[in-house]
Amino acid sequence: MMNFGIRRARSEDWRAIHRIHERAVPYELHFLDEAARPRMESLERVFRGDLWVAEAASEILGFAACVGTEISWLYVDPSHFRRGIGRALLRHAVEHCGEAAHATVLANNVASLALMASEGFETAARETVSIVGYGVARVHKVRRVRRQCDMRPIAVREARMADAVT
């Protein structure tokens, strides 16, 4: 796992956020040929909500956003996939959104659906929707259904419970 922090995005982060989005979209929309993929020239114009970035050594590695209880964006630079950044951003977003956290995930984004499931989300509905800039797409509406399990050994949990009672 990589050493990084998560902080609120600042206006000077938009160039890096845009670059990450452009680099990650081919992984999200691999089923579309390049000419059909949306181009978002100015993400800051379409963005609303709370936005955080994962950062290491002054490099933005990924970002997540929430609007109310919806996790609206979650992207990691492909050169940093599978290093815990997406999971950390998702957990941060859930902490902000609360237990009612939910998201819409493209049906062919298997990696994102697997990450969401591993963090306690399940598919509440499958729909075909029109997404601005994407066209018609199959999506999974996912929602948070459980907190992460306490993975400490039983003896440690019982010892902590005993300490709390006495």
Residue 30: HSE in the Cβ half-sphere, 13 Å Cα cutoff: 8
| Least confident segment among 18-22, 96-100, 119-123, 154-158 | 154-158
Give the chain's end-to-end CA distance (angstroms, integer): 37
Query: How does pLDDT run across 37-94, given as a tens digit for each residue?
Result: 455 555 555 567 899 999 999 999 999 999 999 998 899 999 999 999 999 999 999 9
What pTM value is reported for the model?
A: 0.77
At residue 100, the 3 state secondary structure works out as coil
Helix (H) or strand (E) holding 105: strand 102-106
CATH class of 5-165: alpha beta
